[in-house]
Every structure is written in C-alpha cells, then in structure tokens.
Amino acid sequence: MRILLDKFSKSFGSTKVIEDMDLEVGSGEMLALLGPSGCGKSTTLFAVCGIHRPTSGRIMFGDRDVTHLPSQERNVGVVFQSYALYPHMTVEENIGFPLMVKRVASADIRKQVADIAALVHIEDLLGRRPAQLSGGQQQRVALARALIRRPDVLLLDEPLANLDAKLRLEMRSEIRRLQKETGITAILVTHDQVEAMSMCDRIAIMKSGEIIQIATPSQMYNDPRTSFVASFLGNPPISFLKGQAHQGAFVLGGSGLRLPLATLAGIPDGTALSLGVRPEHFGTAGGVPVEGKVVFAETQGRENLYDVVLPDGSVLRSIQPVRDDVKPGDSVRWNLDSASTFVFAEDGQRL
C-alpha cells in the first residue's frame, strides 16, 4: 500500500520538529529514513503509525486519509528499537496479542501464530518468555507480532540497534527477506547508513526535520545533492578539501594542487569551494598526482586505510588493497581520480 505524507508538520509545544514534509513510499517498497539523531525521523515514523498526531498536513495510506485515525484503526505493524515485547506473556501470546484484541477465535490464533512463527523461524520458542530469548530471537518475535495482523504498513524503528555486529548482519538480510516475501510496504528508521543502503529500495536522508534527498542507495552514493549527504554515506567516510575556483579548476590553497573540473566552468574565480573525495578515489586510479605524508595506517584485512596529510594541512583518506610498502611517516605521491570527485559550494550545495 502506498504511503503519502502531504505537507506533514509536527511540533511539540513551540519546538518545530518537522515542517511541510512531503514523502511518498510506493506500494511494496522499503524506504529508509536516514539521519543523525534528533533529525525527526522517529517523529515521522510515530506520526505514520498514529502515536503522534500531526500538527498539520495529511497522511494517506493508499486512498485512505488516516491523519485523524487513532493507531488502533490504522493497521500498521511496528517493530520498536527495544522490541517492546510484553514480558509477562509467552512468545505465542505475544505474537497472538493483536489477534486476541480483535477477538479472533483461539484455534485460529494458534494456527496463524504457528504460520508466522515458521516464517520467522521461531517455531520451537513459542512457549518461552521474552526474558528467556536472545536479542536476535526477541527481534524475530517482534517482527512476527508486527506482521501477524497482515498490516498495510510495516514500520521499523532502529530495529537492529540493540544487536551485536554478527546478528545485525544476519537480521538485516532476514528483515529484507520477510519484507520481500510478504510484499509489504515498509519504512525503516535508522542512523546507520550501511543498514539503509543494504536493506532498502530507496533512502530518504533527513537533517533537522527536512528531507535533503530521496534516491536509491547507489544514486545517492554516486550523486549526492549536498555535502551532508556525501558525508553521511560511505564507510570510511568521504574527506573534504577546502579550496577556491580558478579558471575552471579547483585550487587547493598553499599546496599548488590544481584540479581542472568540467563542473567549474562559469564559476567566478575566487569562489570558495569544498571538494569531496571518497577514499576509493584516491591512491588507486586517476590522473592527478597528489603529494602528501601518511600519518595513519589501518589494516582491515582485505584493504588498508590510510590518512594522508597534504602540505596545506588538510587530510585525504585512501582505501586500497593490502600493501606493505607504506608506513606512517612515509611521503607518498598518489593519484586522485578527479572525475569521481564532488564539488560543493560553501553552503554545502553540490555544483
């Protein structure tokens, strides 16, 4: 089912959290709301499930206006960050609770619980209580409880934040599998770019109550609209060089580094610019040599990560296949792939 937020605003008292937000999630799509904490992504999610009332604007599920419906009547499934399982009930009672509230016959509930439990692979845990489950198992129970009502919309509020690294990887693909199998429209709230990129069809990146950009993960990675988006996606993160425009080229003050860039045609000389260079575009291929000194090296097994200080003091990161010949303190002259860099104006807008 399609979800539409139309000029949605939410304020708490006099604090405006979100103003005039427009967002559309296609039917069967999984969308990530990505942003730093306090950007309003959870507020948006709670407005969609009906826990927060919007201050103004409309929320539509399909053709149905649900803006003023209480959450009981919205038919949404929510997985909370803390899972919010009911500690005094068994797993079976937990999953069956939404049906019990609807006064479904208990034989029916049993059957449906068994079905959904099989879907999330927790058939043999039905008699336990939440306290007797591991984090990943609790997560699966929470998913099953959210899915059992066959909701129109599945909302996930930082569902992986409380899991350890290995489980997180496992549940990431597990949640995506369930979403695809059930064909449900889903919104994932997260501050982790890896989760957003790996699990979702599209990402809406948010900053202080505004959506900065909505795009598919690869579009957003390769074509960020602002320096904020560029810095939020990618691990290790992008590095920025501060410089100026000069005759259609980016000039880094002090070091004499000069990068001719097609995007800079027509930009007046002396305009302050910021150049974003992803670590994979420095030190591997490319035509512009850059001199600097390695100050930090870290091996990640398959790849090495280097921090290189340029003569003017700015730092470029480089990630390359493992090599032993470079140590911290060494002077290097590595190539920079100028075609893959991003140029941003002083206000962070991409040029």
Partner 1 sequence: MAEKPQISSNTTSANFSSLPVILLLGLFSLPLLVMYAYLFIDTISDTEAGSLIPNEFTLRHWSFLWETKAGKPNIWLVTLNTFIFASCITGVILTVSSMAGYVLSRLNVPARGFFLAGVMVLHAFPSVTLIIAIFIVLQWIGLYNSLIGVILVKAAVELPLGIWLMKGFYDTVPWEIEMAGTVDGASRFTVWRRLVLPQIKPAVMALGLFSFLTGWSEFIMPQVLAPGAKVQVLSVYLAGLIIDDNNFDFGTFKAVGVFYVVPVLILYVFFQKHLMNIYGGGTKG
| Binding stretches for partner 1 (CB under 8 A) | 46, 49-51, 70-72, 74, 76-78, 80-88, 97-98, 101-102, 131, 145, 149
Tokens of 41: 């992504």
Total residue count of the chain as it appears in this document: 351
- Report in angstroms how near the CB of residue 62 gets to partner 1 at its nearest: 18
Q: How far is CA 78 from CA 48, 101, 264, in A?
A: 10, 16, 47
- Report in angstroms how near the CB of residue 310 gets to partner 1 at its nearest: 48
Cα–Cα distance for residue pair 273/81, rounded to 1 Å:
40
- Report in angstroms how near the CB of residue 80 gets to partner 1 at its nearest: 5
Reduced to 3 states (helix: H, G, I; strand: E, B; else coil), residue 256 is coil
The nearer residue to partner 1, 84 or 167, going by C-beta atoms, is: 84
The nearer residue to partner 1, 108 or 298, going by C-beta atoms, is: 108
- Report in angstroms how near the CB of residue 78 gets to partner 1 at its nearest: 5
Q: Which helix (H) or strand (E) is 188 found in, with range?
A: strand 185-190
Cα–Cα distance for residue pair 314/125, rounded to 1 Å:
55
- Report in angstroms how near the CB of residue 51 gets to partner 1 at its nearest: 5
The nearer residue to partner 1, 76 or 175, going by C-beta atoms, is: 76
- Report in angstroms how near the CB of residue 70 gets to partner 1 at its nearest: 7
The nearer residue to partner 1, 70 or 287, going by C-beta atoms, is: 70
The nearer residue to partner 1, 10 or 145, going by C-beta atoms, is: 145
The nearer residue to partner 1, 185 or 239, going by C-beta atoms, is: 185
Cα–Cα distance for residue pair 128/146, rounded to 1 Å:
18
Q: Is 88 exposed, middle or buried (0-12, 13-18, 19+ CB in 10 A)?
A: exposed
- Report in angstroms how near the CB of residue 173 gets to partner 1 at its nearest: 24
The nearer residue to partner 1, 102 or 333, going by C-beta atoms, is: 102
Which of 206, 164, 170 is CA-nearest to residue 188? 206
* Order of strands across the sheet that contains 185-190: 76-79, 153-157, 185-190, 30-34, 202-207, 210-215
Which of 33, 48, 43 is CA-nearest to residue 3? 48
- Report in angstroms how near the CB of residue 322 gets to partner 1 at its nearest: 37
- Report in angstroms how near the CB of residue 140 gets to partner 1 at its nearest: 15
Cis peptide before 236 (omega within 30 of 0): yes
Cα–Cα distance for residue pair 37/235, rounded to 1 Å:
18
Q: Is 262 exposed, middle or buried (0-12, 13-18, 19+ CB in 10 A)?
A: exposed
The nearer residue to partner 1, 127 or 287, going by C-beta atoms, is: 127
The nearer residue to partner 1, 134 or 299, going by C-beta atoms, is: 134
